[in-house]
Amino acid sequence: MLRHASSLMVSLLLGIVAVHANWKLRQGSHIKATPPLEGINVDYFANQLQNENDFMKHLNTILIPRVPDTPGSTIVREHISNTLKELGWDVEILQHTQQTPVGQKTFRNVVATFDSNAPRRLVLACHYDTLVKPQNFLGLTDSAVPCAQMLNLAVTLKRDLQDDKNGPCFESKRWQHELTLQLIFFDGEEAFNRWSSTDSTYGSRRLAQDWDRKIFSHEGVDARTLERIDLFVLLDLIGTSDVQFVSLKRNTQKWYNRFVRIEKQLKNGKALVQYNRPIFKDQSSFFASVEDDHVPFEKRGVPILHLISVPFPSVWHKSSDNFQAFDPATTSNINKILRVFVAEYLQLGQ
């Protein structure tokens, strides 16, 4: 009788686990379900998919003044949108009008999702707008390079993302078809007058608010749309030779450590060019407060991995933040590391 009762208890417990092992709960255990990529897989995603000509094409198009609600902003937004649509992504232009210190302005976020049916998202984000002053500010690091990096990532991973979406889903990887890549290009990150909680991050504040209110349901599990985000990776101030990152968020330290490990892997495999020092420093600065587009999401409980150069590059908010500040070698190395990280997170080809 005891043996029968024990077996019954085990069966009940397993049933409870099965019921609760839904897409939302699997977010928390994803790091255990994603072993590191090794050997030829690392070489494939880092080196064989490299396409710096494509990256430069995007950078050259984006590197113009693109203040919100101006012709330059339209040119860049249409390039981002058209590029991703041609690659088969679902693209939304989310528009809203808001009062600013210089009057009413219309802001347009670009949200691109590879598989809109998947309930979970790995989000990569940056802003595509530029400062009003100095006049004709180009914003190479702030944030033309991050925009070009994200587009280049979509181009180079096109086949692998599609194969993964169309491939079989194994029971051992229940999360496989419930997780997708989402790219967000924010409008209105920069202040029109002076940075404050009301004069900055116009696009991200509105999107976080809207997604906090919007309810999503999948397999009988309800959640706020914000809760669909596994991890929110924000890119900013990238493109110079002296860019360096540290871990800024305690709750995503383990994911940041993956960037550190991937960089070491590529260094040991001699995949990084003109490599002089680590880009992802093996250290943390949890007390550093850097205001950026992640803040409205972080306040609502979204896990944030903030990849921003610390300290800021010397060209920050200066006219010299232009093509003359660009370091192709360091940027190429970051492209490789980022591509391997995304492939590993999504377990592409596995």
**Residues designated catalytic:** 189, 236
The DSSP result for 14-43, as a single string, is: HHHHHHH--HHHHTTTGGGG-PPP-HHHHH
The DSSP result for 284-337, as a single string, is: E-TT----STTHHHHTTT--EEEEE-SSPPTTTTSTT-SGGG--HHHHHHHHHH
What's the CA gap between 22 and 214, in Å, rounded?
20
Between the alpha carbon of residue 57 and those of residues 8, 51, 72, 85, the distances in Å are: 63, 10, 17, 17
DSSP state for residue 219 in the 8-state scheme: T
What's the CA gap between 67 and 64, in Å, rounded?
9
Closest CA to 62 of 77, 44, 47, 50: 77
For residue 157, count other CB atoms closer than 10 A to its CB.
21
What's the CA gap between 347 and 69, in Å, rounded?
39
**Structure tokens, 235:** 């890119």
Task: Please give the angle made by the CA atoms of 118, 124 and 125, to the nearest 5 degrees.
Answer: 125
Is there a contact between 152 and 54 (Cβ–Cβ < 8 Å)? Answer: yes
What's the CA gap between 209 and 204, in Å, rounded?
8
Between the alpha carbon of residue 197 and those of residues 67, 201, 204, 241, the distances in Å are: 19, 8, 12, 31
